[in-house]
Structure 1
C-alpha cells in the first residue's frame, strides 16, 4: 500500500481516537480477549475530556500520521520527548505493510536530531515485532490493569535506555 507520512495536527486527533479503538478491537481473538480490548479502549465518544487529555499528550511528543493514497488515515504514532513511544497504531485494513516501522523510523530520526536516543516502548503483542525489527530489545514482560482487567504487554528499549531501579 502506498501511504505518505505527514505531521500530525490537533485536528487529526478525533480520527486518531477512532482508529485507536478500531485497531485495539481488531486484536481481540488473537493475543487479547474482547474483555481486554474493551478495557484498553472502552467505548467512548470523542469529547472535551478526551480532547484535552490527547492534546496534552501530543503537545509533549514528536508525532506523525500515515495517509493512504485515497486520503484515509492509515495510522498514527507519537514519541514523547523523554523517549517513550506513547502511541503506535495502524488501521486494521492497512496492517502488515510496513507502516508501523516507517512511523517508528521517522519519529526516531526526529528524536535523534534533538539528542534523544535512549528510547523505550510498552508494546502490545501486536506492536512488539515492529519495535524488535527496529532494533528494540525485550527488557521484560509486563501486566497492567485497566477497568479491573489485566492486560499483558512488554517493555522494550534501545539506545541505552534503562528502567529506573534496574
Structure 2
C-alpha cells in the first residue's frame, strides 16, 4: 500500500470510510447507539465538506491506497500536535497500516518542529498509538448527541495536558 497526501477531493471517500470504520466497531468495543452518535448516518453534504475541509486545511495528512486505487485508510494530524483522524478500512486492518500513517504524519510534523503530540484514541485505536510509543495519560468520556462515549488521552514527545 502506498501513502499519499490527502486533498479536498478525497474527503467524500474518507467520510464514507470513517462511517464504515465506526460502524464496524459496533458490538465489539462500542454499542450501536455510541457508534450512531459518533458517526451519524449522513450522506456527504456541503456542510460536512466545509467542516472537513477546514479541519484538513490545518493539518498534515495522508491516505493509504491499494494498488487498484481503493482507499484503505486515511489520517490527519493537526498543526497543534493533535491527531484528529486515523482510520483504516476493516478489510485492510491488522497489516500495520495505522502505524505507517502515524509514522508518516509524525515525520511531517517533526520537519515543521512539532514533536509534542497527543490523541483522543478510541478503544480500537489505542493499541495502535501505544505501539507507536504514545503513553496513556487518562481515560476520557465525551457526550455526543446525548450519548456517552469513552476514549483515551495518549501523548508522546513531552506533550502535557493543560491544567484546568
Gaps of 5+ in 1: none
Show the counterpart of 1:13: 11
- 1:97 maps to 2:95: yes
* Total equivalences in the alignment: 164
- Scaled by the length of structure 2, the TM-score of the pair is 0.99
RMSD: 0.7
Query: How far apart are residue 86 of structure 1 and its match?
Result: 0.2
Deviations 1:98-148 (A, max 9, x none): 110000000000000100000000000000011000000000000001111
Show the counterpart of 2:127: 129
Show the counterpart of 1:83: 81
Show the counterpart of 1:48: 46
The CA distance in 1 between the partners of 2:42 and 2:138, in whole Å, is: 31
- Scaled by the length of structure 1, the TM-score of the pair is 0.98
Gaps of 5+ in 2: none
The CA distance in 2 between the partners of 1:33 and 1:94, in whole Å, is: 22
Query: How does 1:1-166 map onto structure 2 within 5 Å?
Result: 3-165=1-163
Query: How far apart are residue 149 of structure 1 and its match?
Result: 0.5
The CA distance in 2 between the partners of 1:68 and 1:146, in whole Å, is: 33
